[in-house]
Amino acid sequence: MSGGDRRALGRFGEAAAAEYLRQRGWEIVEAGWRCRFGELDLVAQNGAFLAFVEVKLRKNAAFAQAREFVDRRKQEKLRAAAQLYLEEHPTGLQPRFDVAEVYAPQGTQTVRPEIVYWENAF
């Protein structure tokens, strides 16, 4: 899979996760926010929470569940990026880290991807 295909697939997963959150009353504050530590896929707020959402897209869970790819090293990068985000965008909301697993068997052609959402994932 080429880099462009991988990026398109990632954006597809992020869009699916963002729509999932919007349908549940969340406001998407940022999508694809980049800094020197990496990228925050989605930053969403709802009530007292500001969620930093890591989106993981897979065709299926045959090898492993998508959330298992958010390992300790990735969590550290996400924490560093979130800390910088909060320094630049103080909100007073309670931050937390969520993971959205997006399963799309036909890739970007999947009509209804399955989404499994994990609040306070780490």
Angle at 55 between CA 88 and CA 71, to 5 degrees: 90
Q: How many CB atoms within 10 Å of residue 69?
A: 14
Q: Please give the mean pLDDT across all residues of the chain.
A: 93
pLDDT(8) > 90: no
Count: domains in the chain: 1
Phi, psi (degrees; rounded to nearest 5) at 42: -140, 140
Would the pLDDT of 39 be above 90?
yes
| Residue range of the domain that includes 30 | 3-118
pLDDT tens digits along 47-101 = 999 999 999 998 876 777 878 889 999 999 999 999 999 999 999 999 999 999 9
Nearest-angstrom CA–CA distance, 21 and 30: 13
pLDDT at 33 over 80: yes
For residue 109, which amino acid is it?
A: Q
Supply the pLDDT for residue 108: 92
CATH number of the CATH domain containing 40: 3.40.1350.10
Residue 2, pLDDT score: 64
Output the pTM of the full model.
0.91
